[in-house]
């Protein structure tokens, strides 16, 4: 059964890609690969983030507020109009994040964005989440603003499926052609040889993970893909003035 609502914490680490083989050897004592990583290969994630012309939603998010929320459209792999996608509101309060999502065909998302009509045959949870999304769009006057895509390896704890570890690489962004079905292309977000490791958990972090962090000289960082993209965009604007 696919979950529509999540609550969890996240810790993020920027990692030299050269460390990945040794880290994977360590974590495989405790974790198993995500079923989406078929034959050990990464899977593709594509996102469209919504904001207004002034990027107020993202500006607020990067200011480290007590409460923040954002809206995104996500697919696993490059979809076509008939593919199911995930329309999600992510909220965070006091470092605890929640995610509410509606699951529907990409064509249905476009119909909703154009007409704000929620079909009666949608599930109760889809109708509820789409109502929240419609309120978010009207309140913040947002529209598709940035594409972010990447390749992911993911792992789950053998005894606690809520404990998850992901590795995202080849992260690219763009501000034009904001359609998931257009595929994954754009400018690189991270320097060559870097990737993002992220620990997602509901309870506490395991002691062995803290030891591994120490052994490899790793530290947690404040990092948001859309926040990093926004900062890079501002820097480019300043350089072009």
Q: Are 143 and 72 in contact (CB under 8 A)?
A: no
pLDDT of residue 3: 61
Q: Which of 39-48, 65-74, 78-87, 114-123 has the lowest mean pLDDT?
A: 114-123
The CATH number that domain 5-240 falls under is: 3.20.100.30
pLDDT at 241 over 70: no
Residue 178, by phi and psi: left (phi above 0), alpha (psi -120 to 50) or beta? beta
What was the pLDDT predicted at 4? 63
Is a pLDDT exceeding 60 seen at residue 1? no
How is residue 208 written in tokens?
């062995």
CA proximity to 189, closest of 240, 154, 141, 223: 223
User: Cβ distance 232 to 39 under 8 Å?
Assistant: no
Residue 91 CA to residue 221 CA, distance in Å, equals: 19
Report domain extents, the chain: 5-240
- Write down the pLDDT at residue 206: 87
CA–CA separation, 37 and 46 (whole Å): 16
Q: What is the pLDDT of residues 165-216, one digit of tens each?
A: 999 999 999 999 999 999 999 999 999 999 999 999 887 788 999 999 999 9
Cα distances from 152 to residues 44, 145, 195, 197, 233, in angstroms, run 6, 23, 10, 10, 24
How far apart are the C-alpha atoms of 167 and 217, rounded to whole Å? 17
Q: State the DSSP string of the chain.
A: ---SEEEEEEEEEEEEGGGHHHHHHHHTTTEEE-TTSGGG--EEEEEEEEE-TT-HHHHHHHT--SEEEEEEEEEES---TTSEEEEEEEEEETTEEEEEEEEEEHHHHHHHHHH----TTS-HHHHHHHHHHHHHHHHHT-EEEEEEEEEEEEEEESS-TT-EEEEEEEEEEESSS--GGG-S-SEESS-TTEEEEEEEESSPPPHHHHHHHHHTT---B---HHHHHHHHHHHHHHHH-
- Give per-residue pLDDT as tens, 131-157: 999 999 999 999 999 999 999 999 999
pTM metric for this prediction? 0.91
């Amino acid at each position: 059964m696919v979950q529509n609502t999540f609550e969890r914490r996240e810790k993020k680490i920027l990692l030299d890609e050269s460390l990945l083989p040794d880290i994977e050897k360590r974590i495989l004592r405790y974790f198993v690969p995500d079923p989406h990583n078929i034959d050990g290969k990464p899977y593709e994630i594509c996102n469209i983030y919504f904001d207004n012309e002034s990027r107020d939603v993202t500006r607020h998010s990067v200011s480290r507020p007590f409460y923040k929320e954002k809206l995104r459209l996500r697919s696993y792999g490059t979809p076509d109009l008939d593919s199911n996608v995930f329309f999600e509101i992510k909220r965070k309060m006091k470092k605890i994040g929640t995610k509410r999502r509606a699951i529907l065909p990409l064509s249905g998302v476009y119909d909703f964005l154009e007409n704000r009509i929620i079909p009666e045959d949608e599930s109760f949870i889809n109708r509820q989440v789409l109502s929240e999304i419609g309120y978010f769009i009207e309140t913040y006057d947002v529209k598709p603003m940035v594409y972010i895509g990447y390749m992911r390896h993911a792992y789950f704890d053998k005894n606690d499926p809520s404990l998850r570890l992901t590795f995202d690489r080849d992260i690219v962004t763009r501000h034009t052609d904001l359609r998931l079905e257009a595929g994954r292309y754009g400018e690189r977000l991270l320097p060559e040889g870097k990737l993002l490791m992220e620990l997602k958990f509901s309870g506490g972090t395991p002691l062995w993970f803290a030891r591994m962090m120490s052994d490899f000289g790793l530290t947690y960082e404040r990092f948001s893909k859309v926040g990093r993209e926004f900062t890079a965009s501002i820097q480019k604007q300043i350089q072009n003035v």
